[in-house]
């Protein structure tokens, strides 16, 4: 196995372990981001209707 392929394998394994251990936090952050974007869009529509 070439060295760069070995490094890539290590990086993929490390990121998989991090994702498995932090998936709840990542899910919460994504959900929070979606809600914020939705509320911001709703606010922009409301202000556009109000003008």
Q: How many CA atoms lie within 13 A of 29 on its CB side?
A: 6
Cα torsion 27, 29, 33, 35: sign: positive
Across 28-51, average pLDDT: 94
Proportion of the chain above pLDDT 90, given as a percent: 71
Number of domains the chain contains: 1
Q: How confident is the model at residue 1 (pLDDT cuts 50, 70, 90)?
A: low
Q: Is the model's pLDDT at 50 over the cut of 80?
A: yes
pLDDT value for 2: 76
**Rounded to 5°, angle at Cα 15 from 8 and 7:** 15
Provide the domain limits for residue 25.
1-50
Q: What is the pLDDT of residues 7-20, one digit of tens each?
A: 999 999 999 998 88
Residue-averaged pLDDT of the chain: 91
């Amino acid at each position: 196995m070439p060295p760069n392929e070995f490094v890539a394998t290590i990086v993929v394994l490390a990121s998989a372990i991090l994702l498995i251990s932090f998936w709840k936090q990542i899910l919460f952050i994504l959900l929070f981001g979606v809600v914020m974007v939705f509320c911001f869009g709703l606010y922009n529509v409301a202000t556009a209707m109000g003008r």
